[in-house]
Structure 1
Amino acid sequence: MRLLVIDPGFGAAGDMMCGALLAAGADRDMVLRAMKQAAPELSVSQVVRCGMPAWYVRTHAGPAHRTPAEVLEIVRAADAPPAAIDLAVRVFSRIAAAEEQVHGTHHVHFHEVGADDAIADVLGACTALVTLGVDAVHILPLSVGSGTTVCAHGTMPVPAPATAEILRNADLRVATGGFSGELCTPTGAALLAEFSASFGTNEQPGRIVSVGCGAGTRDPSDHPNVLRVMVMETESPLFGPAVDVLETNVDDVSGELLADVVSSLMDAGARDACLVPVVMKKGRPGYIVRVIALPKDSERLARLLARETGSLGVRCMPMVHRFVADRRISSETVVVNGNTFTVGVKTAFMEGIPYSRKAEFDQVRDAADAAGVSVRDMKRVVEEEAWKRE
């Protein structure tokens, strides 16, 4: 199993996460392409923070105030893998929920987290995580700092109210005090919270494959202002973290509502959700709603499933082991009808040997439309190019 260990012991911010994941081996081209949607003047450099080498991602973006809907519109239009966009949407949904809880339902604008740099950082971090192809994420205790910080609402205690609210709803271990100042931003907190919710697992022994550090802007003399990550190959390469399977049968819920139920479950942290058509008692057509969940999320998702469908009971098949392939996303460039296209390809490995390469369908479809060829032909060309890799 491929495991990502994140160490936010010296703090966490969006730019630090991007730098660390890039340094650990994320697909640089895909990450920068996703980020440049919001920050076209983006730059990446190698720096030293208190003796530790790190990658520093700078967006050169100015301030902006946007509504959550405006931010999500930019995110959904980004040139990024669909899985990364979905992850970024969930990150900003966490931020929106925290802002609403702190400032009330009348608060309809993001300030710092609605600016181009925050949007770019979230898109970059989510794309980087997806391209690393990790199966699980383990997050070490997070340091938030101490004292006060200045934000759009004035001088606030550390952690800032929105950051504290995000962390209150996250399964993260948090340490206060220690270093002076804000070590964890709302963006950094939301990224860690969503990474934990979507991929979280306990740390397992394994072999370190790569290490990456992402630098913050400040360079204090008493501690390195960096976030460090490690990609590990664990001792359990065949089966990934155990999951629970939740199911309920319904025959009185409309198709529109069922589609929304699946979306709600995925937004709430389900690893997967689907609908299976079945014939129920008295010959009635119906569906099994099936949800794959991490054990820590099972009770919460079962309650959501029951509430959204009106079901009187949800079955839980606990701790089901699943085969999880080592997978990575790469960029493949092809020329079709005189035009050049770059498409993401997901490669699956077993014992280090690739056995499946699948082009990202949405990108294939867009490239096929632009080239005037069938989706099937474009998919074949891209995947054949991918198979030429060693």
Structure 2
Amino acid sequence: MSILAFDGRMGASGDMILAALLDAGADPDVLESVTDALEVEYRIDETVKCGISSTTIDVYLTDRDGSDGHEQGHADEHDGSEHSHEHVDHDHGDGHDHEHEHTHDDGDEDDHTHDHAHTHENGDSHDHVHAEGHGPHRSYLEVREIVENMGLEPAIERDALAIFELLGEAEASVHGESLEEIHFHEVGADDAIADIVGAVLLCHDLAPDEIVTTPLATGGGSISMSHGEYPVPTPAVVEIAQRADWSLRGGPVETELLTPTGAAILGHLADGVESLPALDLEGSGYGAGGYDLDPHPNVLRVLVGDGGGRGELVKDDIAVLETNLDDATPEVLGGLQETLADAGARDVSILPVTMKKSRPGHLVKVICKPADRERVARALAEETGTLGVRDAGATHRWIANREFETVALEVDSETYNVTVKVASDVDGEVYDVSAEYDDALAVARETRVPVRDVLRRAETVAQAAIDADDSFGDIS
């Protein structure tokens, strides 16, 4: 199974993600879907960060001649200097512009960018304007319409739209507005669309089976935005992280490292891991950020490789609740499977234990979804009278993909249906087939065939159908 792994120890921004994927071997030609739809071009260069050769990428507007003194000066300064992580703020109709307090630090002999630019069908682009902070600002609905009209492959379009939706929902939550009311500031500009759609295009070009990221560093300190001075991570990043599978980590420097655009891209595409997985490496890439953060190399590293072995099981977020009981009746304990299931429990286990003063008792362990933990804990307390329910601290479990199929068994010229449960990994490899006992018992009672024989026959038929890649219902 191929895995694309982001190393999040220096955070992430949209341009760093693009640059890292290109450096890892993604084909830059796939970005033409963006440059054909928007009047922008990508400039791909190289730089060195603390001795690490890295790729940089910038988005420039191609429909502006740069005659405005401010804009031309910005573009000229950008070409000859290191640029900061982009920070994304949004305009909600109040007319305030985003205030950048980050500086543009001149490069030195060890940290430099090359002047030559990689462009896409735009010829000489020396007087084009850097897109960050320039160009139109759009609402969420306007951005969605642009993406839908880009002619992207369906899977790519779905991912791109999902990222903008995640970003929009985060901003809507922060500002107490609906998703339809959100008016993006910089995220609605061409450069942000180019970052997000471009990242999806490059990820699909590398075509990994799974994308993961280690905990993402946020940096620290505070930044000035249009609505005031905000701590790092910014409110939008915090909202996105709450919806994402990965975790945040502060530091290692006092500046912004994780932008909302970077967080949203990885929030949709990547699953969280605590450390880099074991990989048979096939490639790697480094995408440079703008700051010089010596002795920390300000780069986003991405690794591409084969995870090896058979496919993994599915990661399922859960909570585990438990309590000790020394006075529960057998009837109450026996009914917990049903009463707690009504509250959201996925599984209930009851184990005999020895409690204080050598008294016999029971340990009740309940698995539920995190969102259901309070409701399940309340039900457990009400049903048993326990004075306390512990959260055992489990965050997830690994489970099989499960499908239920029906097989037809023929006994004495009569056909009987038995449901079987088919368990497989994420690659679809089946590793267990189990007939449902209740169905088998019903057949056994009617045919007087031992239930274990019915179970065995049903599982044999199901396995034969799997091996033949055939329809379950057509085999008897």
Partner in structure 2 of residue 73 of structure 1 = 145
Which residue identity is paired with 2:45? S
Once the 2 structures are TM-superposed, how far is the Cα of residue 233 of structure 1 from its aligned partner? 1.2
Q: Give ranges in structure 2 of 5+ residues lacking alignment.
A: 61-130, 317-395, 400-418, 430-476
- Structure 1 window deviating more from structure 2 (105-114 vs 53-62): it is 105-114
CA-to-partner distance for each residue in 1:59-90, whole Å, 9 max, x for gaps?
A: 02125321101111112222543222211111
SS in 1 for 2:208: coil
Partner in structure 1 of residue 312 of structure 2 = 241
1:138·1:202 contact (CA, 8 Å) conserved in 2? no
Which residue identity is paired with 1:223? H
* Pairing of 1:156-171 with structure 2 (within 5 A): 156-171=230-245
State the structure with more CA Rg. 2
2:313·2:398 contact (CA, 8 Å) conserved in 1? no
- In structure 2, what is the Cα distance between the partners aligned to 1:176 and 1:316? 48
Decide which of 176, 179, 197 is 1:104's aligned counterpart. Answer: 176
Question: Is 1:188–2:259 an aligned residue pair?
Answer: no
Once the 2 structures are TM-superposed, how far is the Cα of residue 125 of structure 1 from its aligned partner? 0.5
Once the 2 structures are TM-superposed, how far is the Cα of residue 33 of structure 1 from its aligned partner? 3.4
- In structure 1, what is the Cα distance between the partners aligned to 2:274 and 2:311? 10
1:201·1:241 contact (CA, 8 Å) conserved in 2? no
Once the 2 structures are TM-superposed, how far is the Cα of residue 296 of structure 1 from its aligned partner? 7.2
1:90·1:194 contact (CA, 8 Å) conserved in 2? yes
- In structure 1, what is the Cα distance between the partners aligned to 2:279 and 2:217? 25
Once the 2 structures are TM-superposed, how far is the Cα of residue 35 of structure 1 from its aligned partner? 5.2
1:135·1:240 contact (CA, 8 Å) conserved in 2? no
- In structure 2, what is the Cα distance between the partners aligned to 1:178 and 1:109? 33
* Pairing of 1:8-157 with structure 2 (within 5 A): 8-34=8-34, 37-38=37-38, 40-60=40-60, 61=131, 62-105=134-177, 108-157=182-231
Which residue identity is paired with 1:137? I
SS in 1 for 2:211: strand
Which residue identity is paired with 1:120? A
Partner in structure 2 of residue 208 of structure 1 = 281
Question: Is 1:221–2:294 an aligned residue pair?
Answer: yes
Decide which of 417, 424, 442 is 1:320's aligned counterpart. Answer: 424
1:10·1:143 contact (CA, 8 Å) conserved in 2? yes
- In structure 2, what is the Cα distance between the partners aligned to 1:33 and 1:164? 31
Which residue identity is paired with 2:302? V
- In structure 2, what is the Cα distance between the partners aligned to 1:82 and 1:47? 35
SS in 2 for 1:65: coil
Once the 2 structures are TM-superposed, how far is the Cα of residue 240 of structure 1 from its aligned partner? 3.1
Once the 2 structures are TM-superposed, how far is the Cα of residue 243 of structure 1 from its aligned partner? 4.1
Indicate how the Cα distance of structure 1 residues 316 and 119 shifts in structure 2: closer, same or farther if over 3 A, else same.
Answer: farther
Which residue identity is paired with 2:214? L
Once the 2 structures are TM-superposed, how far is the Cα of residue 317 of structure 1 from its aligned partner? 6.4
Which residue identity is paired with 2:263? A
Residue identity (%): 37
- In structure 2, what is the Cα distance between the partners aligned to 1:25 and 1:143? 25
Which residue identity is paired with 2:13? A
- In structure 1, what is the Cα distance between the partners aligned to 2:210 and 2:182? 34
- In structure 2, what is the Cα distance between the partners aligned to 1:222 and 1:108? 40
Indicate how the Cα distance of structure 1 residues 129 and 32 shifts in structure 2: closer, same or farther if over 3 A, else same.
Answer: same
Which residue identity is paired with 2:280? R
CA-to-partner distance for each residue in 1:230-283, whole Å, 9 max, x for gaps?
A: 0011212xx4333499xxxxxxxxxxxxxxxxxxxxxxxxxxxxxxxxxxxxxx
Once the 2 structures are TM-superposed, how far is the Cα of residue 41 of structure 1 from its aligned partner? 2.9
SS in 2 for 1:54: strand
- In structure 2, what is the Cα distance between the partners aligned to 1:150 and 1:111? 15
Decide which of 227, 230, 254 is 2:303's aligned counterpart. Answer: 230
Indicate how the Cα distance of structure 1 residues 72 and 200 shifts in structure 2: closer, same or farther if over 3 A, else same.
Answer: farther
- Structure 1 window deviating more from structure 2 (105-114 vs 159-168): it is 105-114
Which residue identity is paired with 2:312? P
Which residue identity is paired with 2:163? V
- In structure 2, what is the Cα distance between the partners aligned to 1:316 and 1:119? 47
2:17·2:199 contact (CA, 8 Å) conserved in 1? yes
- In structure 2, what is the Cα distance between the partners aligned to 1:318 and 1:219? 53
SS in 1 for 2:163: helix
Partner in structure 2 of residue 275 of structure 1 = none
Once the 2 structures are TM-superposed, how far is the Cα of residue 218 of structure 1 from its aligned partner? 2.4
Question: Greater strand share, 1 or 2?
Answer: 1
Once the 2 structures are TM-superposed, how far is the Cα of residue 111 of structure 1 from its aligned partner? 1.4
Q: Give ranges in structure 1 of 5+ residues lacking alignment.
A: 246-294, 299-314, 326-390
TM-score if structure 1 supplies the norm length? 0.60
- How many residues are matched? 257
- In structure 2, what is the Cα distance between the partners aligned to 1:204 and 1:150? 37
Once the 2 structures are TM-superposed, how far is the Cα of residue 42 of structure 1 from its aligned partner? 2.1
- In structure 2, what is the Cα distance between the partners aligned to 1:101 and 1:159? 16
- In structure 2, what is the Cα distance between the partners aligned to 1:218 and 1:138? 25
- In structure 2, what is the Cα distance between the partners aligned to 1:111 and 1:297? 40
Partner in structure 2 of residue 366 of structure 1 = none
- In structure 2, what is the Cα distance between the partners aligned to 1:32 and 1:213? 22
Once the 2 structures are TM-superposed, how far is the Cα of residue 190 of structure 1 from its aligned partner? 0.7
SS in 1 for 2:282: strand
Once the 2 structures are TM-superposed, how far is the Cα of residue 178 of structure 1 from its aligned partner? 2.3
